[in-house]
Structure 1
Amino acid sequence: MLPDPTVPASLLAVLELVRGCFTAPTFQTFAALVTGLVAQTGRYTVTGMLLGAGLTRAWSHDRAHAFFSRAAWSPDTLGIALSHLVVRRLLPEGAVLTVAVDDTLFKRRGKTVFGAAWQHDGAARGSRPTGRGTCFVVVGIVVQLPFLERPACLPVTARLWRPKQEQSKVDLAASMIRLLAVCHHERRVHAVADTAYHGKALRDLPTTCTFTTRLPASAVLYDLAPPPTGRRGRPALKGKRLGTAKDLADAAGFTTATVTRYQRTETVHLTATTCLWYGSFHTRTVRVILLRDEGTASGYGLALVTTDLDTPLSELVTRYASVVDRGHLRRGARAARGRPGPKPHPPSC
């Protein structure tokens, strides 16, 4: 049995809400490890959790390692339980879920670390942003806490991505979004990600779920499919070629709007085009939103693509800004103008 002082009563009251995800012995281990994780000021390793909980001499280290390797519990089940906890306690009744998607690299050394490889590291400095470690695709729920000015992303579920495997990061993200949407079927789910997340896996998301991401500068857009002609043969799946976001910006008429992003209210110029991104979303109708900052007479500073066809443009920009950091927007604007961006910033969630 665990010593009574191991888990503070206030923290135990929260952890009790997910007790059903574990067996009785496994829950005791889970509660102690979470306590050690919170109390740890050094490295956040399994051994570090034991040290933070003050159990290095009371427990065998194998008990903590076995929790992650052999214990009977499901990370997905725990993630869904956490998502319900976040929704019940931190969101108004009936509010939509804004879901953030991103990936992060945990640097790991050693040849025997499962899933570790040299791969992209968004937080790395220098001309080659790479690192060796394990990469997790993370899905979190964005909430507005009363003691913070900016929104907070609370991770609820994550999956390990292994390079050169069958599933891509987009596949993992799509499966987790579907799981959240099904388990919160009574609410709308608005998923937001940066430009790395687009592809075939996102075409068949539930009808209660929308997806918003930044449109790559090279993406080719098409008009909606024309009505059937009645002739023999397969009807056309797409209309005429509209071109890239730059082509849309050159021909579009921008309107002035006020948007709130990064704790500031700004006047910008917006335009939207309902079309098809055939290469990524196939025949699913999308909206492409182009933003031009005040004082700019040509081009665009931000291009978004979304399956949300109803939300006002200014609210979509605010939603995206609440998830993706400002550094992503500066780099995107430079990429659209063909200029190199600054060094990457740490991920926002």
Structure 2
Amino acid sequence: MLYDLAPPRTGKRGRPALKDTRLGTAKDLAATLAFVPFQITRYQRTETVHLAETTCLWYGSFHTRTVRVILLRDDDTDSGYDLALVTTDLTTPAPALITRYAWRWSIEVTFAEARDLLGAGQARNRTRAAVERTVPVGLYCYTITVTWYVLHGHHPSDTADRRERAPWYTTKTDPSVSDMLAKLRRAIIAARFLPTRPGQPTDQEIRAVQQAWATASLDAAA
């Protein structure tokens, strides 16, 4: 619940008020605040949106710390709001904060994919060291998977092959992390079951090592 800022001290005895008039919810604010059009850039697009903001208290979460509530209404929305942000940043212009918020989308997607695809954050650890290490290791595995795919696993036909197997992805233009992970798994399985595994010594190399050991043994005995 949102409240107006605390009123000035009255000079009377007793505890001063920590909050003023109850403002209600973001929905209530959207019905009273004036929305102003702005050009903002988010998700690689520049578009017109309508913003409204106020400075108040989110008393239940931040107690007496002052916050800003920023409401965004898309250009084709007539009432209410499409996005509500609460921030303790009291100086940055609202359009810049909307852009900054949009930047976090890729970060949140990374966390979700690391959790859902690689199990990061799902381990039932109890010791402090294990808790501090498990999630970073999961994120490292995520990074290694993407790096391997970019350097060694990518093929121009990957997206087309995926769309052929899943034709409902009509707008798919790039491989997803799940596609990268599936290809890495196939590459690992193929490497394990190749007729000749890379890195195995040849018979000639084995005999050369055995001969070197035998010579070393004779020298030690002498």
Identify the structure with bigger relative contact order (alpha carbons < 8 Å, sequence gap 6+).
1
State the structure with more CA Rg: 2
